[in-house]
C-alpha cells in the first residue's frame, strides 16, 4: 500500500492549548484514496528540525503532506525549508502574485508587501489555487515521491486537498480503496460487546475491527479495503450484518449517527411528540434532542425541575410522594414522566432524576443513582441505574440511558 507521512508546521501546535486536528481529516481522506498514514510529525517554526523532518519523511514514505506555515510572515517557514530540503529554488510566480493582489483588492485592501512572499513557488511545483485564503498550496513529484504543501486553516486546506490532490493520489495508490463504518452501541459494557462479537470479527483481517470506548458509548469501527469502493462497502455489509446478529437492538447507529438523531428520526417518522422532565441532567436531555435540526416538529417542551417545589408545581408530582419516597426514587421518576406528558399533551413523557454528585449522596442513595422513566398512553416504566464517573459523566450517561429507553420503545 502507498504510504504517507503528515507534517504539521507551527509553534502554536507545540503549546498545551492546541493540537493538530487537520491530520485526522487528512488521514480519513488518505485512507479513502488507498494511502496508509505511517507517521505524523508536529514541528515548530524551527528551520533545522523542519528540514530534517522533511528529508527523513522523503526517505521513508511515498507521500509527504505538509500543513501550515504558508502565511506571509517570517515565522512561516514551510515554503523556504521545503525548497531547501528538496534542493529546489524558490521563484517568484508573477501570475500567483497578480492573483494575490487581486484578492486583496476584492477584500478592499492593498496587498501588504510581505504577502508577496506567498507568490514564491518551488521550481517544478504545480500551484494549488486557494479560493478561501491568500496562500496557494503546492504539489510536486520529487524522485518518485509526492510532496504536497497545504495551508493550515481547515477551510482552506480541506477543499484544496479534495479538489486538487485526492484524485491524483487515488491514481498513484493503484486503485485500492478504503471504506469505513462506525456502529454505536448502548446498554452493553465494553467487555460484553467484545465477548459477543470477537468470535466474528477476529476471523477477518479485512475488514479490520476496532472497538472504542467514548464517554458512555461504545463504537465499533470497521475498515475495509477493496479494489473499488463498492467492493469495500460489500465487505463492510457482510461483517456489519454478522455483528448485528450478535448485538441486535443494542446497536443504535450503523453509520455513526448520534442517539438524539436516531430517536428524533423515529419520532418524526411516526409523528409522535415528546416532552421531557429532568432533575439531575439539568436540561441535557432537552439540549441534546434540540441539537437536531427540525426537532421542533416532535419536541414540544422540557422542564428542569431542580427544586422539589417545582416538581410539584410544574409536573403535579404530589409533595407527599416526594416526602415519603424522596426526589430520587422510581415513584417520583414515573410521576415526573406522567406529569410532563399529561400537561404538555404529548405522546411520550421522558423523565430523569438522580444524584449526579459530587455532593448530595447518602448511603441509601449514593452518587450515581439515577432513575429514568418513560410514559405513553398505554403505560409507564422506569429503570434504576448505578452510573460510574464524575458529575459530568454521570449526567451524560443518564441522558444516554433515557434517550435509549425511548429508542427501544419506538422500535
Interaction with a copy of itself in 366-405: which residues (CB under 8 A)?
391-392, 395
Instruction: Name 359's bridge partners.
Output: none
Q: Answer whether 184's CB lies under 8 Å from 219's CB.
A: yes
292-311 burial: b if 16+ Cβ within 10 Å, else e? beebeebbbebbbbeebeeb
Q: Answer whether 183's CB lies under 8 Å from 246's CB.
A: no
Nearer to a copy of itself, 233 or 301 (CB): 301
Nearer to a copy of itself, 168 or 221 (CB): 221
CA distances from 244 to 207, 220, 239, 371 (A): 15, 11, 9, 28
Q: Answer whether 403's CB lies under 8 Å from 288's CB.
A: yes
- Decide if residue 1 touches a copy of itself (CB under 8 A): no
Least distance between a copy of itself and beta carbon 94 (Å): 31
Least distance between a copy of itself and beta carbon 154 (Å): 13
Contact positions with a copy of itself (CB under 8 A) in 164-193: 180
3-state secondary structure of 394: helix
At 149, which helix (H) or strand (E)?
strand 145-150
Least distance between a copy of itself and beta carbon 213 (Å): 11
Least distance between a copy of itself and beta carbon 15 (Å): 7
Query: Quick one: CA torsion of 24, 226, 34, 171, rounded to 10 degrees?
Result: -140
Nearer to a copy of itself, 58 or 125 (CB): 58
Least distance between a copy of itself and beta carbon 153 (Å): 12
- Decide if residue 206 touches a copy of itself (CB under 8 A): no
Least distance between a copy of itself and beta carbon 408 (Å): 23
Least distance between a copy of itself and beta carbon 276 (Å): 8
CA distances from 326 to 252, 330, 367, 382 (A): 33, 9, 14, 15
Which member of 2, 63, 66, 303 binds a copy of itself (CB under 8 A)? 303
Contact positions with a copy of itself (CB under 8 A) in 68-97: none
Nearer to a copy of itself, 307 or 324 (CB): 307
Q: Answer whether 93's CB lies under 8 Å from 121's CB.
A: yes
Q: Rounded to an integer, what distance in angstroms lies between the CA atom of residue 274 and that of residue 276? A: 7
Least distance between a copy of itself and beta carbon 54 (Å): 13
Nearer to a copy of itself, 4 or 86 (CB): 4
Q: Which three cell numbers stand for residue 132?
A: 478561501
Contact positions with a copy of itself (CB under 8 A) in 269-298: 276, 278, 281-287, 289-291, 293-296
Which member of 139, 166, 272, 306 binds a copy of itself (CB under 8 A)? 306
CA distances from 16 to 11, 20, 47, 49, 243 (A): 11, 11, 22, 20, 39
Return the closest-CA partner of residue 276 out of 395, 391, 377, 375.
Answer: 375
Return the closest-CA partner of residue 51 out of 86, 98, 16, 89.
Answer: 86
Nearer to a copy of itself, 115 or 295 (CB): 295
Which member of 359, 364, 379, 411 binds a copy of itself (CB under 8 A)? 359
Which listed range, 18-26, 100-108, 109-117, 229-237, lies at the site for a copy of itself (CB under 8 A)?
A: 18-26
Which listed range, 105-113, 190-198, 237-245, 358-366, lies at the site for a copy of itself (CB under 8 A)?
A: 358-366
Distance, CA of 72 to chain centre: 32
Contact positions with a copy of itself (CB under 8 A) in 33-72: 37-44, 46, 49, 52-53, 56, 60
Return the closest-CA partner of residue 400 out of 241, 248, 208, 258.
Answer: 258
Which listed range, 13-21, 104-112, 199-207, 232-240, lies at the site for a copy of itself (CB under 8 A)?
A: 13-21
Contact positions with a copy of itself (CB under 8 A) in 236-265: none
- Decide if residue 339 touches a copy of itself (CB under 8 A): no
Amino acid at each position: 500500500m502507498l504510504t504517507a507521512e503528515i507534517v504539521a508546521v507551527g509553534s502554536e501546535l507545540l503549546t498545551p492549548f492546541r493540537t493538530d486536528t487537520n491530520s485526522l481529516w487528512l488521514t480519513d481522506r488518505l485512507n479513502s484514496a488507498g494511502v496508509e498514514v505511517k507517521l505524523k510529525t508536529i514541528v515548530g517554526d524551527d528551520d533545522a528540525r523542519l528540514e530534517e523532518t522533511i528529508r527523513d519523511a522523503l526517505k521513508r514514505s511515498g507521500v509527504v503532506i505538509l500543513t501550515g506555515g504558508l502565511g506571509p510572515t517570517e515565522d512561516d517557514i514551510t515554503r523556504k525549508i521545503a525548497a531547501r530540503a528538496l534542493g529546489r529554488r524558490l521563484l517568484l510566480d508573477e501570475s500567483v502574485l497578480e492573483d494575490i493582489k487581486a484578492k486583496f483588492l476584492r477584500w478592499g485592501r492593498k496587498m501588504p508587501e510581505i504577502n508577496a512572499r506567498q507568490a514564491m513557488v518551488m521550481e517544478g511545483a504545480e500551484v494549488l489555487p486557494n479560493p478561501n485564503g491568500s496562500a496557494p498550496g503546492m504539489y510536486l513529484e520529487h524522485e518518485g515521491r509526492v510532496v504536497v504543501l497545504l495551508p493550515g486553516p481547515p477551510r482552506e486546506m480541506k477543499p484544496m486537498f479534495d479538489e486538487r490532490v485526492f484524485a491524483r493520489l487515488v491514481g498513484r495508490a493503484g486503485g485500492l480503496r478504503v471504506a469505513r463504518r462506525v456502529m454505536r452501541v448502548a446498554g452493553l459494557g465494553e467487555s460484553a460487546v467484545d465477548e459477543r462479537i470477537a468470535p466474528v470479527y477476529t476471523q477477518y483481517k479485512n475488514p479490520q475491527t476496532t472497538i472504542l470506548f467514548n464517554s458512555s458509548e461504545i463504537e465499533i469501527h470497521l475498515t475495509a479495503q477493496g479494489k473499488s469502493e463498492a467492493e469495500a462497502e460489500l465487505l463492510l455489509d457482510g461483517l456489519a450484518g454478522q455483528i448485528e446478529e450478535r448485538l441486535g437492538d443494542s446497536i443504535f447507529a450503523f453509520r455513526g449517527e448520534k442517539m438524539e438523531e436516531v430517536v428524533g428520526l423515529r419520532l418524526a417518522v411516526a409523528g409522535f411528540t415528546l416532552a421531557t422532565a429532568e432533575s439531575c441532567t439539568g436540561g441535557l436531555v432537552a439540549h441534546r434532542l434540540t441539537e437536531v435540526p427540525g426537532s421542533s416538529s416532535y419536541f414540544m417542551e422540557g422542564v428542569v425541575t431542580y427544586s422539589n417545589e417545582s416538581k410539584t408545581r410544574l409536573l403535579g408530582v404530589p409533595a407527599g410522594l416526594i416526602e415519603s419516597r424522596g426526589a430520587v426514587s422510581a415513584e417520583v421518576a414515573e410521576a415526573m414522566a406522567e406529569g410532563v406528558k399529561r400537561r404538555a399533551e404529548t405522546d411520550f413523557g421522558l423523565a430523569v432524576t438522580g444524584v449526579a454528585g459530587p455532593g448530595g449522596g447518602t448511603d441509601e442513595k449514593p452518587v450515581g443513582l439515577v432513575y429514568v422513566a418513560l410514559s405513553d398512553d398505554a403505560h409507564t416504566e422506569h429503570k434504576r441505574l448505578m452510573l460510574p464517573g464524575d458529575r459530568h459523566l454521570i449526567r451524560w450517561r443518564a441522558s444516554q440511558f433515557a434517550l435509549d429507553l425511548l429508542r427501544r420503545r419506538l422500535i
